[in-house]
Every structure is written in structure tokens, then in C-alpha cells.
Amino acid sequence: MTETISPLTAGSLAQRRPLRGLRSKTTLRPGLVLAVAVLAIVAAWAIVPHLFTPFDPIVGDGAVAQSAPSLAHPFGTDAIGRDLLSRVVYGTRASLQATVIAIAVAFVASTVIGLVAGFVGGWLDEVLMRIVDVLLAVPSLLVSLLLVTALGFGTTNVAIAVGVGSVAAFSRVLRSEVLRVRTAQYVEAAEGAGARWWDVLLRHVLPHAATPILGLVALEFGSAILAIASLNFLGYGAQPPAPEWGGLVADGRNYLATAWWITTIPGLVIVAVVISTNHISRAIGVRR
């Protein structure tokens, strides 16, 4: 006997497939397991940094200034004797908080734009998409730089600027998904049953249109980390002596010949996190 699946049930099943696919890929791809492990370690750094290092990230010891990586200081020390592992670990929280804020700003703003443009259509769709086209024509880092110059220094301002710079990419993808989902059988079934338009939009269109955006969020998470680190490298983010990944890379630029680890090791941490997020986004099914 063949089981009949209603359109609404089919929509719910489709919504769960990406995560189920990710779990199956994790068991088959060691690289993906390593990427998840890297992000788990970084998340632990942000949550409980004191468990990973006994040193103060702010106070240094001049007697061990510019010490190379060793058992006592696995990442070495900086120019004033601060343990670099402590600086990287304690800087993780600020870097990830800024990244999460940036992604949240981009996701919320693009959700509004993409839903309105795709669901309402007409002249409003044309106007919103032309604005998005203008944003896409300008490099997102340049948009972020212009915004943070206007907003002022600070980690939160940097995060907001990076989030606004990422709105265009999210909006385009979400609009295309809304246009696709609008013609699905479970949406037509809800409309045929007399559901109000906002119920159809919020209960049926948005959840299923937003599911493919999860992969893009992972991809843009890495891009946001790079953008925030770049702006912090230029001095727009957390001010010294507060540790932050981009600022740590900037701290060692004058000591590359004598203490390469001050810049190289924080840079490698950033690279590892970005590669890991990109690897996970590819596993979910996102391509540039």
C-alpha cells in the first residue's frame, strides 16, 4: 500500500533534508570532521577561555618579550612579553561576537528585503533589486569601510558595517528562493484553504525559503571574520590593549624579521577558521 504525503508534509520533509545530508556527509568526509572540530575548539575558546591558558592576555612580562614558541608559551610572546596563546584565545570572544552581530544584521535586513521583493513583486521588487544591484557592484569591504568611517571606531560599529555590506548577497539568494517556494504545492494548498497572506508568508514561505540560506550563512560567516579582522587590522575595531584577531596580526607587522610568530600564528588561526566554515558551507551545498 502506497503512503500518500500531503503537500504540507512534503514541505516539512524538504526542510529537514539539508541537515540530514550534512550528517551523512560528516561520516564520509574526514575533512569535514576536522572542520567541525576546529570550530568546536574556537567556540570553546570563546566560552571558557580561562581553561586553555593560565596567562593574563593584557599584562606582559618584559623578561620573556618576543620569546619564540615553546612548551611554556606554545604561540610565543609578543613585543612586551604577553603570552600570544592567551591573546588569541581571549580575542576569540570579541571576534566571534562581532561576526555573529554582522551575520544577524545581514540576515534580518536581507530577510525583509528578500521576502518583500519576492512575495510582493511589481515595482517594489524592481526598486529593491536595483538598490541591491548597486550594493553588489561595490566591494562589500569598501562599503563596510565607508560605513565604519561614518559610524566611528568600536567593535559593534565594525560588526554593523560588515553586516550592512553583506546584505546584498543574502537578499538576492532569499528573493530567488521565495520566488521558487511561492509556486510549491504546499503553498498553493495553504492559499487554497483560505489562509491569510501573512500566514502563508511566515508559516510556509519563509521557513522553506530560509533553509538554503543556512549554507550561505556558513559561507558569509567566514567572509565576515575576514572583513572584521581587516577593519581591526586597520585600527577601526577594538582598541589596544584589548585582544582581537585582526589587531593581533597588526601588532606584529613591525617585528616580522625578528618575531614572525606574532603576526603569523594569529593569521593562521583566522585562515583555519575561515577554511573550516567554507568547508562546512560546501557540505551543506552552497557554491559561490
Give the domains, in start order, of the chain with CATH numbers: 30-50+74-284 (1.10.3720.10)
Q: What tens-digit pLDDT sequence spans the chain (288 residues)?
A: 444 445 444 444 444 444 555 455 545 578 889 999 999 999 999 999 999 999 999 988 888 999 999 999 999 999 999 999 999 999 999 999 999 999 999 888 888 888 888 777 778 888 888 888 888 888 888 888 888 888 888 888 999 999 988 888 788 888 888 777 776 666 667 666 666 666 666 666 777 777 767 767 877 888 899 999 999 998 888 888 889 999 999 988 889 888 999 999 999 999 999 999 888 877 776 444
Secondary-structure breakdown of the chain: helix, strand, coil percentages, each rounded to the nearest 5: 75, 0, 25
Whole-angstrom distance, CA of residue 79 vs CA of residue 90: 18
- What 3-state DSSP class applies to 59? coil
The per-residue pLDDT for 39 is 93
The per-residue pLDDT for 179 is 78
Q: Is the peptide bond before 241 cis (omega within 30 degrees of 0)?
A: yes
Q: Taking a C-beta distance cutoff of 8 angstroms, is the pair 135, 168 a contact? A: yes
CA 62: distance to chain centroid? 37
Check: pTM over 0.85? Answer yes or no.
no
C-alpha angle with apex 137: 133 to 143, nearest 5 degrees?
A: 105
- What 3-state DSSP class applies to 264? helix
Q: Is the peptide bond before 18 cis (omega within 30 degrees of 0)?
A: no
Whole-angstrom distance, CA of residue 84 vs CA of residue 77: 5
pLDDT in tens, 34-50: 999 999 999 999 999 99
The per-residue pLDDT for 194 is 64
The per-residue pLDDT for 119 is 74
| 129-149: burial string, b at 16+ Cβ within 10 Å, e else | beebeebeeeebbebbbebbe
